[in-house]
Amino acid sequence: DQPAWSGRLRITAKGKIAFIKLEDKTSGELFAQAPVEQFPGIAVESVTDSSRYFVIRIEDGNGRRAFIGVGFVDRGDAFDFNVALQDHFKWVRQQSELARQAENPDQGPKLDLGFKEGQTIKLNIANMKKKEGATGNTRPRPVGPGGLSLLPPPPGGKSSAPVCHSGERPSSLSAPAQLPGTPITDSLLSWPQPAAAPSA
């Protein structure tokens, strides 16, 4: 209720060291400063019977040190103070770990994705065997003239003559000589077109 001094507290960092600065509320003039090299440590200690009170070690820059008690009116501010210090030193640990890994890249754990002796794997490739009663992902086949089902020609294979309705004559196919293994394209093969209906 009656503190010896009241003001604002800021935490700043320079390199790996965090500085707790006690400043005047209005002018911002520095009242005291506490460098923190590790947390938890001797520079900042929480009291055992409250989460709002701490003991910090302040320094004047000439080697003189003093321990003072700091209390927060709001428990949330005390929590933020604690978390800010923890976050800074967590960052310091991560930076030192990254620097150590950069110096010795071969020291890290290696991921072995090779097969162990006698180890096997099993691959199921999209319905290779059809089970009885199972409906597979089948596509409808195109139906040709006369209700016959036509299969597409095999890749690089020869195409068969088209199936014609009774009474129609197949027109001659004009296809240049095809090399084995080349795909059949529209420019190489022309199918007979149905006769246009006479206009009335």
Which parts of the chain fold into alpha helices (H)?
Answer: 75-103
Burial class (CB in 10 A: 0-12, 13-18, 19+), 34: buried
Percent of the chain, pLDDT > 70? 64
Whether the link from the prior residue into 176 is cis, omega within 30° of 0, is no
> Bridge partners of 96?
none
Any domain includes 118: no
Any domain includes 111: no
Residue 129: predicted pLDDT: 62
Is a pLDDT exceeding 80 seen at residue 180?
no
3-state secondary structure of 82: helix
Burial class (CB in 10 A: 0-12, 13-18, 19+), 70: buried
Is a pLDDT exceeding 60 seen at residue 175?
no
pLDDT interval class at 117 (50, 70, 90) = confident
Residue 104: predicted pLDDT: 76
What is the phi/psi pair of residue 81, to 5°?
-60, -50
- Contact present, 162 and 170 (Cβ < 8 Å): yes
The span from the CA of 131 to the CA of 129, in Å, is 6
Any domain includes 192: no
- Contact present, 72 and 78 (Cβ < 8 Å): yes
Look up residue 17 and give its amino acid.
Answer: I
Any domain includes 183: no
Any domain includes 49: yes
- Residue 65's contacts (CB-CB under 8 Å, 6 or more residues apart) are 57, 58, 59
Number of H helices, E strands in the chain: 1, 6
What's the number of domains the chain is made of?
1
pLDDT interval class at 197 (50, 70, 90) = low
- Contact present, 10 and 36 (Cβ < 8 Å): no
Mean pLDDT across the stretch 153-170? 60
pLDDT interval class at 56 (50, 70, 90) = very high
* Model pLDDT for residues 68-110, shown as the tens digit of each residue: 999 998 889 999 998 999 999 999 888 888 888 878 766 656 7
Tell which wins on pLDDT, 1 or 30: 30
pLDDT interval class at 39 (50, 70, 90) = confident
3-state secondary structure of 103: helix
CATH number at residue 40: 2.30.29.30
Query: Using the 8-state DSSP alphabet, how is residue 145 labeled?
Result: G
Domain limits at 59?
Answer: 7-101
Is a pLDDT exceeding 60 seen at residue 21?
yes
Query: Using the 8-state DSSP alphabet, how is residue 63 labeled?
Result: S
Tell which wins on pLDDT, 88 or 40: 88
pLDDT interval class at 46 (50, 70, 90) = confident
Any domain includes 85: yes
The span from the CA of 166 to the CA of 163, in Å, is 9
Residue 79: predicted pLDDT: 92
Average pLDDT score, the chain = 76
Any domain includes 20: yes
Closest CA to 39 of 78, 3, 74, 91: 91
Any domain includes 137: no
